[in-house]
């Protein structure tokens, strides 16, 4: 697996960066403690975060639910770049896949 999807609701006081820092830190510790043979596990330095309107929550839930099946036809990297291009998000591909 090379990525995960999280659907979260953040309070006005929570930042995306601090929330992802906590998720990465806690989950990394859990993986290393629970699966000692996964010593090579590491999170990518960055992340992608997107706002979702309340009216689209069910669509996003369905999208996340079928990821394993979906990525048999298209890789995460292909899909992510298509998504960025579709929404005119500027990026430098050099930095998209940088690992910590």
Q: What residue ranges do the domains of the chain occupy? A: 16-96
- Indicate the pTM of the whole model: 0.73
Quick one: CA torsion of 53, 58, 62, 64, rounded to 10 degrees? Answer: 40
Q: CB neighbours (10 Å) of residue 45?
A: 11
pLDDT, tens digit, 9 for 90 and up, residues 40-92? 898 888 888 889 999 999 999 998 998 888 888 888 888 889 989 999 999 88
The pair of structure tokens assigned to 85 is 């291009």
């Amino acid at each position: 697996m090379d990525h995960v999807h999280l659907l979260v609701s953040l309070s006005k006081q929570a930042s995306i960066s601090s929330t992802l820092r906590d998720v990465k830190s806690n989950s990394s510790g859990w993986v290393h403690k629970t699966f000692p043979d996964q010593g090579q596990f590491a999170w990518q330095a960055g992340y992608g975060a997107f706002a979702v309107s309340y009216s689209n929550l069910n669509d996003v839930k369905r999208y996340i639910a079928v990821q394993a099946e979906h990525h048999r036809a298209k890789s995460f990297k292909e899909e992510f770049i298509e998504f960025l291009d579709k929404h005119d998000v500027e990026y430098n591909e050099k930095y998209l896949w940088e690992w910590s």
